[in-house]
Structure 1
Amino acid sequence: MAKQDKPPMTKAFLSAVAALFGVQSDKNRQQDFAQSSPWPFILAGIIVLGCFVGFLLGVTWLVTHLEMV
């Protein structure tokens, strides 16, 4: 039985997260660029980046609005 690949969106999200943190391997990057359509990776990148920015905004808000103990 052949090894099944991950669904395109799952692979795109994993690639986007790895690329965001700078740990994307060259092999995976080449596989990503060999895909027929870039749209799953573009969509995953926008969503992952939006979540990351939202996380940073949330942490910043918490730090600036908590009273010092």
Structure 2
Amino acid sequence: MSVLAAMFGVQTEANRRRDFSSGNPMAYIVIFVIFLALFVLTIAGIVTLVISLSS
């Protein structure tokens, strides 16, 4: 949940400190890559849909 909140810029300073002091960096990297891929695929899908509907 911390990664999702951080991606939108709404994470509190206390949560950020907790995550960096006790979290596993590899878990955050994996979650970030998954969310990034989902974001890119969603944008690509929306663009493809809009282009196909405008033709």
TM-score by length of 1: 0.70
Q: What is the CA RMSD across the aligned residues, in angstroms?
A: 1.5
Runs of 4+ in 1 over 4 A off after TM superposition: none
Cα deviation, 1:16-36, whole Å, max 9, x if unaligned, reads 111111111111111110125
Larger radius of gyration: 1
Which ranges of structure 2 fall in alignment gaps of 5 or more residues? none
- Is the counterpart of residue 25 in structure 1 residue 12 in structure 2? yes
Match in the other structure for 1:3: none
Higher helix share: 2
What is the aligned length?
55
For normalisation by structure 2, the TM-score amounts to 0.84
Alignment of 1:47 onto 2:14: no
Structure 1 distance, partners of 2:51, 2:3, is: 30
Identify unmatched segments of 5+ residues in structure 1.
Answer: 1-13
Change (3 A) 1:67 1:27: same
